[in-house]
Amino acid sequence: MPKFELHLHTSQCDITAYVAAEELVRMYADQGYQGIVVTDHYISLFDDWFGAELIGLNHRQRIKRWLRGYEAAKRAGEEYGVTVLPGAEVRFDGYPNDYLLYGVEEDFFYEAPRLNQLKNVEEMLAILPDEVCVVQAHPFRNKMVVADPSVLWGIEVHNGGTDLFRNQMARSFAEHYGKPMTSGSDTHRPHAIGKGGIETQEPILTPKDLIRTLRSGAYTLIENGCRDTEKEK
């Protein structure tokens, strides 16, 4: 069955990530994954991490810089036969929770306002294409806020960078609210590769394919391990 990673970060766009996009793609290919979604952080910290590079850039130029990891991964995907789709892990300014976007097209990020400057999920949903899936990432990490997930499509119940008991809490949370579940390795370092994702009946080649697969429920979760310590990244 095709394997697809739903949560990873590239060193091009995240100072807490230690693997370049090109190497990530090669390593995922070696692990037998058919595809990945690049979910680099879309938060105000990006401005701090790469502030010197962003001085004087307009919105389109800033987004192009933020997509550098995805674009590098996409080029590598053509070489290694791995489908690479754009995504994001969004955090609103002043709010601790993280939300994964699945099924977005690259052009959306250029056309949308600064996502981290929106107030909440509802404001983001108002500008997202209707079928895009918004998933809360690792909802029970330290400093996350428990909130009614009724506006969300789903919950990440297995996160390779999160302790087991927190993933178990996320699963109970999703089950209680009847929310679809996802899994992701949350790769920042090489040892995390292959800890999460989904297995599907049909290959995923486009953002629309990903939406169709997630919304159909025609997938199984990959749950190959998680953190074994209370210490957060």
So what's the pLDDT on residue 232? 39
So what's the pLDDT on residue 24? 98
Domain membership of residue 212 (yes or no) is yes
Q: Which residues contact 200 (CB under 8 A, 6 or more apart)?
A: 1, 2, 3, 4, 213, 218, 219
So what's the pLDDT on residue 226? 87
* Average pLDDT per consecutive 10 residues, the chain (233 residues; last block may be shorter): 97 96 98 98 92 95 97 98 98 97 98 96 97 98 94 98 97 98 97 96 96 98 80 41
Q: State how many domains the chain has.
A: 1
Domain membership of residue 134 (yes or no) is yes
CA distances from 129 to 89, 96, 98, 108, 208 (A): 16, 24, 19, 9, 11
**139 CA to centre of own chain:** 13
Domain membership of residue 233 (yes or no) is no
Inter-residue contact 211 to 131 (CB < 8 Å): yes
| Residues 154-207 pLDDT 10s | 999 999 999 999 999 999 999 999 999 999 999 999 999 999 999 999 999 999
Question: Which DSSP helix (H) or strand (E) runs through 141?
Answer: none
So what's the pLDDT on residue 227? 79
Domain of residue 71, residue span: 3-221
**CATH number for the domain that contains residue 150:** 3.20.20.140
The two beta strands, 88-90 and 83-86, are unpaired
Domain membership of residue 231 (yes or no) is no
Helix (H, G, I), strand (E, B) or coil at 112: coil
So what's the pLDDT on residue 115? 97
